[in-house]
A and B are shown apart, each in its own frame.
Chain A
Amino acid sequence: MNLSRRHILVLLPAAAVAWKSVLAGTPEESPNYKMSDHWWGMLIDIPKCIGCGNCVRACRTENDVPEGFYRTWVERYHVSDEDMTNPEVISPKGGEEGFPVAEADDKKYFFVPKMCNHCADSPCTQVCPVGATFVSPDGVVLVDQKYCLGCAYCVQACPYGCRYLHPQKKVADKCTLCYHRITKGLTTACCEACPTGARQLADLKDPKDPIHEFLKTHSVQVLKPQMATGAKAFYNGLDGSVR
């Protein structure tokens, strides 16, 4: 190919503009991040949750979550003293737009934020026929969307209803614990947006992480412990009625 000086003069600025876009589209490198140094989880402090839905909105914006599906959502429980096993639960649009005003009665109300529990013994990764979903060495359950068949077996296997099939990509989709953020030293979008600190990202391998002090001084529970999934979303103040 013959390039004249005139061609080069036209192409150089175009290449400079393109190079800028290439750089902008390339994820920032995290040279200091060592997967083996971390074991991620989440602390959810139920008494602090006010049901504002900030976390749901932040997650949708940050992760481009498709309409009608949820990587995180908030439930509102309405429980009577007599029948704890049959609570009245609502989560209109996953709590994204908040909740209707509660009626004053003698029952208790509280909010429960939900998300992937990033289980250490996750039933969803166990059943994937090709290993497209896996637990990363730092304890985050991820999906390789370029490899997933879209069979939805993992969606069936998750006891917490945290997975869905992406309506456009036709692959399994779920909370990544904002992996693109936490590997750069940031917190997750939902934690960032929570006005009361009801959600806190926890690194169980970091001895300085306040999670250790919290776990020592509080009664903390995981969802559906009978499932023995090694869930790492730790709930403080979890009521027995929560499913």
Chain B
Amino acid sequence: MSGVEGFMYPNEVELQWSVLIVLYPFITGLVAGAFILASLERVFRVEAVKPTYRLALLTALAFLLVAPLPLQLHLGHPERSPEMYFTPHSTSAMAMFGYVYLWYLMAVLVLEIWLDYRREIVLLSQSSKGLLRVIYKIMTLGSDNISERSLALDEKVGWIVTLIGIPSAFLLHGYVGFIFGSIKANPWWSSPLMPVVFIFSAMVSGIAGVMLLYMAITKLRKQKIDIRCVDTIAMYLFYIFIIDFSLEMLDLIHRIYEADESFRSLNFLVHTQLFIPHILIQILLGTLTPIILIGITQVVKLPEIVRKRIYSVAGCLTLVGIFAMRWNVVIGGQLFSKSFLGYTTYKMGLVSKEGLLVAVFLTILPLIFLWALVKILPPWPEKSEHAAIAAD
């Protein structure tokens, strides 16, 4: 049979989970990471990252809105997916998806954004005209008290929501890792480290993503990039990346040293089909290179312009590396036979339901959502100040 090397169980030849399932953990990782970055300012009072606080929240929301789409498109019967809410199976990790998603979306992210923007929403509902006025009016949810006492209460509740949000973000992405890590039939996935690795890689991708978005949007707005902010983000990215890489290496070393029955098969896979995506793209290009690049900025005093360039390159490589990590987990985990005697190949369609074009569209879609969110809820202080002044 074409594309098969050695022996596969006959039902294993076709891959069950496609590039869309690669996108799902990639997107939720960005969500969780962006939220953690936002919480740095809110909970841990890292004032330097304040310019990215609101952008991080809106980024998290934009990506979270898209997160269920790849799953939905992948299902054989998407119309039956509400059954996961109505009749969840208590022993299934996947059955938690709907609840974790809704909790994170409604109880954490939307609530926090609303509390944080409430003052502006009220002011904009008074100063805007036409359809926008109606939209803002609805968004106030009838709460137009923006007295100092009321705003202080918002701040207090917002802080508590963020505090709850941190373990929720961990839950959201740790749970995605658990979906893979708990499959004992698949040695490439089965690892108690999987949820932890997923959480740290999520933080890495989310922080890198928001850092890049902040720099790109500030440049597009012809504003000055707050270098202190970017330096601080890069520092956090550096340390979290080191933890993430250490965990992944621990997993790898453990597998090599233990060399269980699956080792020969997996080792062969990593040296053949997965050599480019795993060794070259994920580890060398997408992990070690950005760690070294940002590491240089941590130990050598470089001019501002050089630092910005390094952060841009390192940020892009980080996203490539984390995407490759998701790819290697999801696709890599299906390329070998559970008999450990053979290998298959993944052929991605171009225009099919789970093909490349759909995947590209789903990657761009959150950015369109983000654009719309930024238009409705400008995260820039000067804009909201203008709105406040206009209203006054």
Contacts and interface: CB of A to CB of B under 8 A. Distances in A.
Nearest to B7: A89
A206 to B, nearest CB: 29
A90 interface: yes
Contacts of A130: 80, 83-84, 87-89, 92, 95
B357 interface: no
A156 B9 contact: no
Contacts of B87: 130-131
Contact of A243 (B10, B93, B185, B341): B341
Contacts of B95: 129-130
Interface string B144-186: 0000000000000000000000000000000000010011111
Interface stretch (A12-20, A27-35, A46-54, A161-169): A161-169
A147 B94 CA distance: 16
Contacts of B179: 153
A39 interface: no
Contacts of A127: 91-94, 182-183
- Name which of B261, B339, B340 has the most chain A CB atoms within 10 A of its CB: B339
Contact of A159 (B78, B88, B334, B338): B338
A161 B76 contact: no
A222 interface: no
A129 B89 contact: yes
A183 B340 CA distance: 36
B87 to A, nearest CB: 6
Interface string B228-268: 00000000000000000000000000000000010000000
A78 B338 CA distance: 18
B272 interface: no
Interface residues of B, number: 41
- Name which of B7, B11, B97 has the most chain A CB atoms within 10 A of its CB: B11
Contact of B74 (A89, A151, A156, A160): A151
Contact of A69 (B11, B17, B93): B11
B77 A160 contact: no
Contact residue range for chain A?
35 or more
B81 interface: yes
Contacts of A155: 11, 16
Nearest to A145: B77
- Name which of A86, A87, A243 has the most chain B CB atoms within 10 A of its CB: A243
B337 interface: yes
Contact of A129 (B8, B12, B94, B337): B94
A73 interface: yes
Given A149-B77, A149-B84, A152-B16, A163 B11 contact: yes
Contacts of A88: 7
Contacts of A114: 9
B15 to A, nearest CB: 9
Interface in A136-156: 147-153, 155-156
Prevailing SS type, chain B contact patch = loop
Nearest to A227: B184
Contact of B11 (A89, A164, A227): A164
B134 interface: no
Nearest to B6: A89
Given A89-B341, A123-B184, A151 B10 contact: no
Contacts of A131: 87, 89, 92
B75 interface: yes
A91 interface: yes
Contacts of A227: 184-185
B10 A94 contact: yes
Given A156-B16, A243-B341, A149 B11 contact: no
B341 A160 contact: no
Given A87-B341, A127-B94, A153-B94, A161 B12 contact: yes
B76 A149 contact: yes
Given A149-B83, A152-B17, A162 B11 contact: yes
A171 interface: yes
Given A129-B88, A170-B77, A157 B10 contact: no
A196 B380 CA distance: 79
A162 B261 CA distance: 20
Interface in B10-42: 10-12, 14, 16-17
23 contacts: A85-B261, A89-B7, A91-B7, A114-B9, A123-B184, A127-B93, A127-B94, A129-B84, A130-B84, A130-B92, A151-B76, A152-B16, A156-B16, A157-B183, A159-B338, A160-B9, A161-B10, A161-B337, A162-B9, A162-B11, A164-B11, A165-B16, A169-B76
Given A73-B9, A91-B7, A148-B80, 20 more contacts: A73-B10, A123-B185, A127-B182, A127-B183, A128-B92, A129-B84, A130-B89, A149-B75, A149-B78, A150-B77, A152-B17, A152-B76, A153-B92, A153-B94, A156-B16, A161-B9, A162-B11, A165-B76, A171-B77, A227-B185
Interface of A: 69-70, 73, 75, 85-91, 93-94, 114, 123, 125-131, 147-153, 155-165, 169-171, 227, 243
